[in-house]
Chain A
Amino acid sequence: MDLINTTIMGPLIPLGQIASGWDFVIALLIGIAFGFILEASGFSSSRNITGVFYGYNFVVLRVFLTAVVVAMIGLLYFNYMGWIDLNLIYVVPTYINSMVIGSVLMGLGFILGGFCPGTSYTGIAIGKIDAMVFTGGLFLGIFLFSELFPALESFYYGDSLGSATIEDVFGISNEKFSFIFVIIAIIVFYVTWLIEKRVRKTVNPYKFE
């Protein structure tokens, strides 16, 4: 695209820096890394995951928050150094009602099923029948949603904020937000460590299967 520009600006695919044929190879490679990290962190076990809600294992919170912190800080630095254009990064559009209800349902599904979609794939990979059933449930749930969509449509699109960023809503800059987020994350890590230490004394260590 640009003969003169020496540094390659990201994101690569939206800027047409990568021939479209490589899309799916990249997707597969990223997926493999994603799956490996999830499984190696212990997300293939539903009892590991739900430990976060009962205080005996906070691995989900740790992995999740650390990942968000690292990615956030990285994005801001990369944006500053001109390696990536933050404006071109996809921002999930916000539909408050729909998202709140959806997240409540997901929370309920999470505590019942013990997986989320990504982790259930890794559960299948190591031979968990419950993970397979969970994925089947996902399929059914999405099917159900699609069939009911005409009735839900106005709700689905209601109360939209568009592609609202945290900056738009709270009025604090991304840099400040990520700093606050880091502080919150560290406090959460420390508090959950204290909780975990106490809970583990009372809860029998569970057997991994």
Chain B
Amino acid sequence: MDTVSKEKSIPKYINPYFGGVLLGLLLLVTFYITGRGLGASGAVKSAVVSTVEKIAPVHAEESTYYSKFISTDHSPMFNWLVFESIGVFIGGLLSGVLFGRVKKLRVEHSPKITSKTRIIAAGLGGILFGFGSQLGRGCSSGAALSGTAAFSFGGLLVMVVLFGSGYVFAYFFRKLWI
């Protein structure tokens, strides 16, 4: 592969350490302002709770889990993490536009698998991640990143086990990616 086409195939990303320093500073600012770190899976949880509440309000009220997140004075969507996640989407869009990555809808997959396989794997992965994030009290940003930075033992545990199990499973699903 000649250098010109290689240059073209590499999209412009910022230096990962630069990204890391920025993310760390953002996390610090978030701690300074809110006292809690960043989070992402909480927004989906709010969406689930509000959907269930809309469709089956009685069921939502009876359930021990939903009722934890339902309050009488505002919708579960009126939540800090929901707004933050909307922000994540907007921020991603801004960066995508800036670096020229916003294109038509597409599926990114290894040449060894079809788009369909990738979609199924993504859906399955999402379900497992969603389920796991509830047991783990947060996802990779909420528990692992923010938790560890705030010296929480649980955060460190999630980080180590999440990446550790990722490496264990990686071998079995190598076809998906390489």
Contact = CB atoms under 8 A, between A and B. Distances in A.
In the complex they form, do A and B come into direct contact, defined as C-beta atoms under 8 angstroms apart? Answer: yes
A35 B88 contact: yes
Contacts of B92: 35-36, 38-39, 44, 121-126
Given A92-B147, A134-B126, 13 more contacts: A11-B33, A12-B34, A31-B86, A38-B88, A70-B23, A75-B151, A89-B35, A89-B36, A108-B169, A110-B162, A111-B176, A129-B115, A140-B127
A153 interface: yes
B90 A35 contact: yes
A205 B8 CA distance: 12
Contacts, number: 540
Interface of A: 10-14, 18, 23-24, 26-42, 44-48, 50-54, 56, 58-59, 61-72, 74-75, 78, 83-84, 86, 88-96, 98-118, 120-131, 133-147, 149-150, 152-153, 156, 161, 163-170, 174, 177, 203, 205-209
Contacts of B105: 127-129
Given A31-B91, A110-B125, A145-B134, A121 B154 contact: no
A158 B115 CA distance: 40
Q: What range describes how many residues of B lie at the interface?
A: 35 or more
Contacts of B36: 89-90
Contacts of A102: 131-137, 158
Contact of A139 (B48, B83, B102): B48
B125 A109 contact: yes
Interface in B141-170: 141-158, 161-170
A90 B19 contact: no
Contact of B91 (A38, A51, A99, A177): A38
A138 B166 contact: no
A35 B24 contact: no
